[in-house]
Structure 1
């Protein structure tokens, strides 16, 4: 008799190579083509999807970009082909994207953990010490006036790194400082000789006067020693 796998040989509903009788179970056991399983080859094997129960129905490989275990029967939906158990930190309907908190190329199994500096990254992008970044470039969403691919430094002329509102302007006195930049953590500006204070708005030690006009003073003890 023709092997019922599940239709007859020569039809468009035959998914087996051969069959044999299992007298103990009183049934016919089919030897299925690749991608099919079941005693009558009427089911898709793990890693395949389709509708093999109807004539003309096929079982096709799950399109999960090699990011599933093809031997896991729950790795993809056997009817729709939707990927269910993505591996290598990938996700999505076809396991074609890096999962949140990872970046890189999911197609070549190269999803790496985001390396954002939490002190400079937006709090909304971080949870439990793990921050999310751009899934392709790895760039982190920085707080205001914070820069760097991993949000690890203040923007030029800003300080107070780690502040939840972002970095603040240095506000160095334009006349009494050597520039507009300051220390990223303390906010200390680089003052001209004779001026001091965090923003160079005061006279430094051994100098006196109105900082907005002039700071005068004798030479520092260290300078007096050098002259001697």
Structure 2
């Protein structure tokens, strides 16, 4: 059992009083200085700071399912020590506020998802120059000016046969040219049959 002298008690009582009434660090529970409050993480000498997870790119906590996680307005937690938020879909970064390669930040809703959600480029492989797209608009780079659409999936008016998208008259002419020998042979066969039939009837 520890025993203190009167002088030690006189010194310790004011120190204890100061420590007892001291304010804890922001966001740090008094009962456990190694763990931050829900929705916060320990950031070195800064103490406990908010996770600040990017809402459209962060998965909502288990048991908080809504139609879209963007509808959830509660606290989004992160790893208590690294601060890493739990990213949803194609989102990356500590706060899930960045898009992975071959995706774009759909701020206008052109891909049909919630605003601000990272969506796949989905460029038409045969009609675009590569698989990447504009990081904001999601526009793929089409192989030629006759092709259009965000994913390069359509031919402009007057052009046919996607993904080549050539002038329609050229496509029709090529089709007729390819079919002409077969049509000609079929026609000749009809006339040959008719001729031989008539010849048999005449000489019978």
Q: Give the TM-score normalised by the residue count of structure 1.
A: 0.52
Q: Give unpaired runs (5+ residues) of structure 2.
A: 63-68, 108-112, 169-204
Confirm or deny that 1:150 pairs with 2:150. Answer: no
On the 8 A contact 1:15/1:33 being kept in 2, the answer is: no
In structure 2, C-alpha distance between the alignment counterparts of 1:141 and 1:170, rounded to whole Å: 22
On the 8 A contact 2:25/2:48 being kept in 1, the answer is: no
Match 1:140 to one of 76, 79, 85: 85
Q: Give the TM-score normalised by the residue count of structure 2.
A: 0.56
Confirm or deny that 1:88 pairs with 2:40. Answer: no
CA deviation after TM superposition for structure 1 residue 208, in Å: 0.6
Find the counterpart in structure 1 of residue 149 from structure 2: 197
Find the counterpart in structure 2 of residue 182 from structure 1: 133
Q: Runs of at least 4 residues of structure 1 off by over 6 A?
A: none
In the superposition, relative to structure 1, how do residues 179 and 87 fare at CA in structure 2: closer, same or farther (>3 Å)?
same
On the 8 A contact 2:52/2:95 being kept in 1, the answer is: yes
In the superposition, relative to structure 1, how do residues 122 and 190 fare at CA in structure 2: closer, same or farther (>3 Å)?
same
Q: Encode CA deviations 1:184-219: one digit per residue, 9 max, x unaligned.
A: 4543322121211122111135x51111343338xx
Bigger relative CO (Cα 8 Å, ≥ 6 apart): 2
Q: Comparing both structures, which one devotes a greater share of its residues to strand?
A: 1
| Larger Rg over CA atoms | 2
Q: Comparing both structures, which one devotes a greater share of its residues to helix?
A: 2
In structure 1, C-alpha distance between the alignment counterparts of 2:143 and 2:164, rounded to whole Å: 13
In structure 1, C-alpha distance between the alignment counterparts of 2:141 and 2:83, rounded to whole Å: 34
In the superposition, relative to structure 1, how do residues 92 and 192 fare at CA in structure 2: closer, same or farther (>3 Å)?
farther
In structure 2, C-alpha distance between the alignment counterparts of 1:114 and 1:104, rounded to whole Å: 9
Q: In the comparison of the two structures, how many residue pairs are matched?
A: 153
SS at 1:190 equivalent: strand
CA deviation after TM superposition for structure 1 residue 36, in Å: 5.7
Q: Give unpaired runs (5+ residues) of structure 1.
A: 1-11, 19-30, 38-44, 48-68, 76-84, 218-228
Find the counterpart in structure 2 of residue 65 from structure 1: none
Q: What pairs with 1:52-201 in structure 2 (closer than 5 Å)?
A: 70-72=19-21, 86-91=24-29, 93-105=31-43, 108=45, 110-124=47-61, 128=73, 130-159=75-104, 161=106, 163=113, 167-184=118-135, 186-193=137-144, 194-201=146-153
How large is the Cα RMSD of the aligned pairs?
Answer: 3.7
In the superposition, relative to structure 1, how do residues 169 and 129 fare at CA in structure 2: closer, same or farther (>3 Å)?
same
